[in-house]
């Protein structure tokens, strides 16, 4: 019954999957949102802040990446700065529309930074949930999580997108104390791929401890 409720329509979405508002003027983000000073979390190339939309009171997450400074990690992918990686992530996310994939709402490109306005998930990540549960989850909860994860990845592949950094930390729980609903985040390393023409992906990227051995060893 749960699987039937979660199953998305069996068709490829027309691009873009989401309407995303873009703004390229400095200062507009702070005019639209009251941004909390302390970050909710930090990643390899960005910081995430909680924010409140001034006009509606809606709570959002704002992912901020710098457009300046030294950056060598992904230059070979054409990502000459963290801000460029954020713009790439926004371009990927706008193609997707699924209840288990984080939704992007707005993009603010400023002189020094790029800001992605996203849905806010307040239940922590799946790894945190497992750790606070002493490493054990109920079988019913595991089944719920697994079904949602499978359908999210299926949706990506239906839209010719490969995430390339699937791990427990990149699945956020929608609400604290609510139903166990998760959303996939962090699409900075994702790529588009034509399943019929591109052949196998060969670049090793992502989190080493979650990689398949053949990916870590760069085997085809």
Q: Which two tokens stand for residue 218?
A: 């760069």
Residue 148's Cβ-count burial label (10 Å; 0-12, 13-18, 19+) is buried
Q: Which two tokens stand for residue 103?
A: 């939704």
CB distance 205 to 164 below 8 Å: yes
Query: In sequence order, what are the residues at sequence separation of 6 or more whose Cβ sits closer than 8 angstroms to the Cβ of residue 177?
Result: 123
CB distance 104 to 92 below 8 Å: no
Of residues 26, 125, 141, 165, which has the active-site annotation? 165
Active-site residue, 125 included? no
CB distance 176 to 123 below 8 Å: yes
28 annotated as ligand-binding: no
CB distance 93 to 104 below 8 Å: yes
List the binding residues. Answer: 63
Task: Tell me the catalytic residues.
Answer: 165
List the binding residues for ATP. Answer: 63
């Amino acid at each position: 019954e749960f699987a039937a409720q979660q199953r998305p329509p069996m068709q490829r979405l027309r691009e873009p999957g989401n309407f995303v508002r873009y703004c390229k003027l400095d200062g507009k983000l702070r005019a639209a949102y009251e941004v909390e000073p302390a970050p909710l979390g930090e990643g390899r190339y960005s910081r995430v802040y909680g924010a409140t939309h001034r006009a509606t009171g809606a709570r959002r997450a704002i992912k901020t990446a710098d457009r300046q400074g030294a950056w060598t990690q992904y230059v070979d992918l054409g990502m000459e700065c963290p801000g460029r990686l954020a713009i790439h992530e926004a371009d990927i996310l706008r193609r997707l529309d699924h209840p288990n994939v984080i939704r992007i709402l707005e993009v603010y490109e400023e002189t020094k930074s790029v800001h992605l306005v996203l849905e806010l998930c307040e239940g922590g990540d799946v790894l945190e949930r497992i750790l606070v549960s002493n490493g054990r989850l109920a079988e019913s909860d595991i089944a719920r999580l697994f079904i949602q994860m499978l359908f999210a990845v299926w949706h990506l592949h239906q839209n010719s997108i490969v995430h390339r950094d699937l791990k427990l930390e990149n699945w956020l729980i929608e609400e604290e104390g609510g139903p166990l609903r998760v959303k996939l985040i962090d699409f900075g390393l994702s790529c588009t791929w034509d399943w019929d023409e591109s052949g196998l992906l060969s670049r090793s990227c992502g989190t080493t401890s979650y990689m398949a051995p053949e990916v870590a060893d760069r085997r085809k």
